[in-house]
Amino acid sequence: MACLLFSAPVFGQRATVKPVVQVTVVDSKGKIVGHTLGGVGLNFVRFVNDPFEPTVLLKVNERLIALHVAKNYFFQSQLLFESENCLGNFWVSASFDEDSLLPLVAVGPPGNTLYLSQPNAASRRIALKSLFIAGKCIPNFSSNIEAIPAEPLIDLDTVFTPPFSLRAGP
């Protein structure tokens, strides 16, 4: 008769667990990007199991902007294009909730450029052929979508230097 032995894992030292009150995102030079407010999983964007990425608030030209931060880039909403290679005029979705406290922004090339919808611009239907989100151009779309022209505000690479990391506070 066979005898099965079960044993608990053996650890060299007992692990300590402490609560973290505050987490800060910093760039590669140690510059603070912002304190995390929560986060978002990228699986809704890329359709794979990706890590949970933190969200920070930035103040850009007196506007509060919420952005998600991955290791090498910022992201939030999709930047839309009428070309198949994420080139040409920049657009953002017009289906954004107008009651939101924060503006709809997108991040795209060049670098980590922050795009906002043009003030007082009317939406119109565009032939969506590609979109840029989470650091990647996604081609091969073929749909019509209501969109608003977007304009570049600032390349965040001129302010922060990737890669980004997290720093836990007490």
Query: Nearest to residue 100, comparing CAs of 90, 108, 92?
Result: 92
Q: Is residue 17 part of a domain?
A: no
- Residue 18 within a domain: no
Cα gap 40→113, rounded to integer Å:
20
* Number of domains making up the chain: 1
Give the up-direction half-sphere exposure of residue 61: CA atoms within 13 A in the CB hemisphere: 8
From first CA to last CA, the distance across the chain in angstroms is: 55
Question: Is there a domain that residue 47 lies in?
Answer: yes
The pLDDT tens digits for 138-153 are 998 889 999 999 999 9
Q: Cβ(65)–Cβ(74) under 8 Å?
A: no
| Structural domain that includes position 124 | 23-168
The pLDDT, as a whole number, for residue 20 is 80
Tokens encoding 33: 């990007």
Spacing of C-alpha 26 from chain mean position: 15
Q: Is 5 contained in some domain?
A: no
Residue 76 counted as domain residue: yes
Spatial separation of the C-alpha atoms in residues 15 and 137, rounded to whole Å: 42
* Residue 131 within any structural domain of the chain: yes
Q: What is the pTM of this model?
A: 0.79
Q: What is the pLDDT of residues 52-72, one digit of tens each?
A: 789 999 999 988 999 999 999
List, for residues 93-106, the tens digit of each pLDDT value: 987 666 778 888 99
Does residue 15 sit within a domain?
no
